[in-house]
Amino acid sequence: MKDIWAKSLVRIGLPVLILMTPAVWAEDMVLPEVVVYDFPDSSVASREATSSITIIDREEIEQSGASDVYELISGRVPGVFVDQRGIFNYGIGPGAAGILSIRGLGGGTPNSQVLVLLDGQPTTMGIFGHPIPDAYPLEDVERVEVLRGSHSLHYGDLAMGGVVNIVTSRLRPEDGISTTATAGGGEYHSYKASLSQSGKTGDFSYTASLLRRETEGARPNSAFRGWNANIKAGYHISENFQLVLNGWGVDISVEDPGPITAPRSDDTRNMQRGGAGLTLYNTLEDTRGAVTIYGEGGRHDFPGYEEWKSHDENAGIIAYESFAVAADNRIELGGDIQRSGGHGWDTESGYDYGRFYQTRGGIYIDDQQILWELLTLQGGVRLELAEHTDPQWIPRFGSRYQLTETTILHGQISRGYRAPTIRDLYLFPPSSLELKPEEAWSSEIGIRQSLASFLSFDLTLYYIDAENLIVYMPPEAINTGGVVNKGLELSTIFTPVDWFEMLISYTYLDQNHRTEGLAPNVVNWINRFFWRSFSLQSTTSLVDDLHFSDRDEDYCVTDLKLSYALNELAVFTFKVNNIFDEDYEMVEDYPMPGRWLWGEVSVTF
Amino acid sequence: MKKSGINIFLGALLVSVAIHFGAYCSINAYSVWRARYLQSTDDGIDSPVLEVGLVEVSESSVLEQVEQREPDKPEMMKAADQDSEIMIARLSPEEESNSHREPDENRELMEPDKTGPAYPEGRAGISRSAAGSSSHEYLTGVRRQIAEAIYYPRRARLSHLEGVVIVSFLIGDDGSMEGFKVVEPSSYTVFNQAAHEIMEKASPFSPPGPEIIGWEITVPIKFESTY
């Protein structure tokens, strides 16, 4: 549809060819066109035709050398920034790293203005409304889909700054069993071991993985020990229906060494979380969709410094169905409902903060019309309802225009939304039942241009006007005026020869007031060289003016990774992190490790 | 939001989910019924058709003409008229959908499958012509093998490149691919290479019948970016 020249070739060129060379074509049998899509399984890509999307597939994940989803997307996707403070982990609770911001929206601590999904299901701490950074290793991830800007139309609450959808391992299409074992080790007594298996017999298929990571950390009292597990099983009920069960679990113990100016030795934080979902997919002639029932629960125990303990849950239903109502027109109807909350205690005083829950959800309609095979128009509206909040209408309009074979223009305007969390409404104080939801109007225009087969770029300009942002001003929590973020996102891909490729992304963020933990200029520069079975990659991150409370931090960090594929079954990787031994911080007063080495081997059988 | 509002909303959501379930179960049941109906009667549609992949051609189409002719006389086949049915066979699925057809079949043609087989086995209409069934089934199998071998070149995926490559080939006695050539290349060489590799991976095919040997098979392979 987007490729008008390609269509012209088939529609005009082929019949002309037939007429011009009848003697030859009389002997031909012409099979129908075989269409190859770059991301055939991505429902996000097909429903968000006018959005700014980045999809990173398994091949790119393996090339990247990243160890978790946050590291992957912050080094690859413009507009996305995540802070770090150590090896293997981000931590949990106050002072933790792993604050994900997209286009300047993230919410700080707690990180509740972005939504992270695991196989389309929210992974959110029920009380504070933030994602779980240490639950997203890359061992069994098939692809990561990043939507920048407000996407509350489809995803509702929390999807104000953007959405990250982590798709776990693809179920095997053919019968058989495949097992992959990975083991790695590095400085600071850091170890990693993982085992994953996928199999299929008849209509039943599954994947399962287990990951263990340990490190003593680069600073005293910064150890991390964690288990991650994932499972997915699918069963084809019929030709048109498939049932998929997915589950995940994480059990971590992490030490927070405290700021370098006031180090701590008693701050250990433990977290056990798990979730499961059951999805019924349907693919019929004119419709496709899914219904998902999911649940998630967690136990957080922060003895010592924070003296906090909590149990939290969230559970819900997500349903959508996309209908082809006419030629080049699809309507998607959907809805979701979620109940979340939990119970918190002060373990030092024994104070019980109480048990609180809230229900929220919405229904939406989204229409996508393609005109003249060149112009895609998309419009939809969502009705969002949440306890303690008035009904909210959330519209989204977008367009995408194929200007030439190599040029695409796109634009979108949408409203984002975040309802007050349990923490905002009830806890500690400061909290208030009078809080209004946070909201943001997000608009963007962009161009994607291929200058040649070896050079392409994607440029997007955005403007976000966020209002009613919730801040804690003891003794109460209030809605403030808001913030305006505008900026530019640029990513270029340069592949001049077979043995070299270069990917550069640049983010410019202009805020009307200074926000800690964000930087106005970020460049990520990736070079890859290929020679026989070797590949060498350098990854450089240049950050200018990362805002801290009383200063700005500039740094330029380069990692080097060398991989050797012995055959299709075994891959050896050697990595030098921070090769130039740069002194830098991403969280204020938490110095990052200097140069450190890492090696691993992965075997598939 | 008051409790009553939540209750109303919950009720509306449940009703909506129920309607969705009902709708697609009904559609599924209808499609199953229709498939059985078409298989059990010759009067299902006005003009009997023989389907090849996602394109339909009439029963007197080129495929059937091939089978009815002497396989060892290619000159006779060359002399066959380039009649309108041949043109129909070469229409793209989108164009084909504009011709007179049953509404539900039209929609099916508008959206080729993204991966895997072009369409499920045993679909209505496939075995409607006994005379054409063997070559039709064989070509369907060839196309399925191609569809199972497809991949998007990594760098093209990175750069969101798109293109169409039209290739042709012959199938030898033993099912091997012979005489592969690119009829219409893409402006991006990466797709031309990928099309060749896809065909190499898809072959060999099963040994063909005599009605297939000596005939050049053409297939457009379209690489399309999802977003």
Whole-number pLDDT of residue B101: 31
- pLDDT tens per residue across span B151-198: 999 989 988 899 999 999 999 888 999 989 999 999 899 999 999 999
Q: Report which DSSP code applies to A171.
A: P
Give A339→chain B minimum CA distance, Å.
12
pLDDT digits (tens, 9 = 90+) for A157-203: 899 999 999 999 888 888 899 999 999 999 999 999 999 999 998 88
Flag whether pLDDT at A21 surpasses 90. no
Q: Report the distance separating Cα A148 and Cα A485, nearest Å.
A: 13
Candidates A19, A21, A30: best to mutate against B (most CBs of B within 10 A) is A30
- A317/B17 Cβ within 8 A: yes
pLDDT-derived band at B16, boundaries 50, 70, 90 = low
CA A262 – CA A387 distance, rounded (Å): 41
Whether residues A321 and B184 touch (CB distance < 8 A) is answered with no
Q: Which of B6, B93, B187 sits opposite A32 (nearest CB)?
A: B93
Confidence of residue B8 (pLDDT cuts 50, 70, 90): low
CA distance B99 to A410: 33
Domain-wise residue ranges, chain B: 1-41, 46-148, 151-227
N residues, chain B: 227
Strand partners, A466: A440, A483
pLDDT for B145 = 93
A39: chain B residues, CB-CB within 8 Å: 157, 226-227
3-state secondary structure A503-518: EEEEEEEEECCCCCCC
What CATH fold (topology level) applies to the domain A43-604?
Maltoporin; Chain A (2.40.170)
Closest residue by Cα to residue A9 from B204, B185, B16:
B185
**Collapsed DSSP state (helix, strand, coil) of residue B57:** strand
Per-residue pLDDT at B93 exceeds 70: no
Cα distances from A205 to residues A178, A199, A275, B87, B207, in angstroms, run 12, 6, 20, 43, 32
Q: What is the pLDDT of residue B52?
A: 37
pLDDT tens per residue, range A535-562: 999 999 999 999 999 899 999 999 999 9
**What is the distance in angstroms between the CA of the first residue and the CA of the last residue of chain A?**
41
Q: Inspect the interface and report whether the beta carbons of A36 and B52 lie closer than 8 Å.
A: no
pLDDT, tens digit, 9 for 90 and up, residues B72-88: 333 323 333 333 232 22
Neighbours of A395 (CB within 10 A): 15
For the segment A567-582, the average pLDDT, to the nearest whole number, is: 92
Asked if A11's CB is within 8 angstroms of B92's CB, the reply is yes
In chain A, DSSP finds a helix count (H) and a strand count (E) of 8, 35
Tell whether A39 lies on the interface with B, counting CB pairs under 8 A. Answer: yes
- Going by their DSSP bridges, the two strands A482-497 and A455-467 should be labelled as antiparallel
**N- to C-terminal Cα separation, chain B:** 37
**pLDDT tens-digit series, residues A468-501:** 998 888 878 888 878 999 999 999 999 999 999 9
Is B139 close to A29, i.e. CB distance below 8 A?
A: yes
Cis peptide before A110, with omega less than 30 degrees from 0?
A: yes
pLDDT of res. B48: 32
Measured between beta carbons, the chain A residues lying within 8 angstroms of B158 are 60, 493, 495, 501, 503
Any B CB within 8 A of A473 CB: no
Measure in Å the smallest separation between the Cα of A389 and chain B Cα atoms.
5
- Cβ of A55 within 8 Å of Cβ of B159? The answer is no
Number of neighbours of residue B200 by Cβ within 10 angstroms: 12
Q: What's the pLDDT score for residue B23? A: 57
Would strands B216-224 and A28-30 be described as parallel, antiparallel, or unpaired?
Answer: parallel
Q: Domain spans of chain A?
A: 1-36, 43-604
Phi then psi for residue A121, to 5 deg, are: -110, 135
- The enclosing H or E element of A441 equals strand A438-452
Provide the 3-class DSSP secondary structure of residue B138: helix
pLDDT tens digits along B19-48: 655 655 565 565 556 565 555 544 433 333
Chain B residue numbers with beta carbons less than 8 Å from the beta carbon of A53 are 227
Using only the alpha carbons of chain B, give its radius of gyration: 22
Exposed e or buried b for every residue in A179-201, given b needs 16+ CB within 10 A?
ebebebebbbebebebebebbbe
**CA B179/CA B202 separation, integer angstroms:** 15
Two structure tokens written together for A337: 């409902």
pLDDT at A44 > cutoff 60: yes
Q: Is B73 on the interface with A (CB under 8 A)?
A: no
CA-based nearest distance B43→chain A, Å: 22
Phi, psi values for residue B113, rounded to 5°: -60, 150
**Shortest Cα distance from A76 to chain B (angstroms)?**
12
Q: How far apart are the C-alpha atoms of A310 and A343, rounded to whole Å?
A: 5
* pLDDT tier, A568 (very low <50, low <70, confident <90, very high otherwise): confident
| Structure tokens belonging to residue A225 | 């020990």
Distance from C-alpha of A314 to C-alpha of A205, rounded to nearest angstrom: 28
Confidence of residue A239 (pLDDT cuts 50, 70, 90): confident
A139, A167, A59: which is closest to A501 by C-alpha?
Answer: A59
- pTM comes to 0.81
Q: What whole-number distance in Å separates Cα of residue B227 and Cα of residue B214? A: 40
A241 contacts in chain B (CB < 8 Å): 28
Distance CA A167, CA A181 (A): 20
What's residue B33's pLDDT? 62
Name the band, by pLDDT with cuts 50, 70 and 90, for residue A94: confident
Mean pLDDT value across chain A: 90
Residues of A (211-270) whose Cβ lies below 8 Å from B? 239-241
**Are β-strands A329-346 and A407-418 bridged in parallel, bridged antiparallel, or unpaired?**
unpaired
Residues of chain B numbered 154-213 and touching chain A (CB < 8 Å): 154-164, 166, 168, 183-184, 187-190, 198, 212
pLDDT, position A452 = 83
- Chain A residues closer than 8 Å to B159 by CB: 450, 453, 456, 493, 495
Q: Enter the ipTM.
A: 0.81
The pLDDT assigned to A23 comes to: 33
User: Which of the two residues, B14 and A140, has the higher pLDDT score?
Assistant: A140
Contact call for B9 and A34, based on CB within 8 A: no
HSE of A564, CA atoms in CB hemisphere, 13 A: 5
Q: With contacts defined as CB-CB under 8 Å, which chain B residues touch A23?
A: 78
Q: Please determine, for residue B105, whether its predicted confidence score (pLDDT) is greater than 90.
A: no
Helix, coil or strand: residue B86: helix
The answer to whether B65 contacts chain A (CB < 8 Å) is: no
Instruction: Give the residue on A whose Cα is nearest the Cα of B110.
Output: A327
Say if the Cβ atoms of B97 and A2 lie within 8 Å.
Answer: no
pLDDT, residue A378, reads 94
Check residues B32 and B215 and name the one with the higher pLDDT. B215
CATH topology of domain B151-227: 3.30.1150
- pLDDT band of residue A399 (cuts 50, 70, 90) is very high
Residue A95 φ/ψ region, left for φ over 0, alpha for ψ in the -120 to 50 degree band, beta for the rest: left
> DSSP class of residue A304?
B
Nearest chain A alpha carbon to B212: A29
**What's the rounded Cα separation, in Å, for the pair A528 and A537?**
4
Nearest residue to A472 via CA among A125, A100, A108: A108
Q: Which of A443 and A452 is assigned the larger pLDDT?
A: A443
Confidence check: pLDDT of A405 > 90 = no
* Whether residue A274 has pLDDT greater than 70: yes
pLDDT of the residue at A522:
96
B103 touches chain A (CB under 8 A): no
pLDDT at A19 over 80: no
Confidence tier at B104 by pLDDT (50, 70, 90): very low
| Residue A174: predicted pLDDT | 82
B72 interface with A at CB cutoff 8 Å: no
**Confidence at A14, pLDDT banded by 50, 70, 90:** very low
* Whether the Cβ atoms of residue A584 and residue A551 lie closer than 8 Å to each other: no
- The alpha carbon of residue B186 is apart from the nearest alpha carbon of chain A, in Å, by 9
Tell which residue, A158, A223, A220, A162, has the closest CA to residue A190: A223
Residues A119-166 have pLDDT tens digits of: 999 999 999 999 999 999 998 899 999 999 999 999 998 999 999 999
**Do the beta carbons of residue B195 and residue B165 sit within 8 Å?**
yes
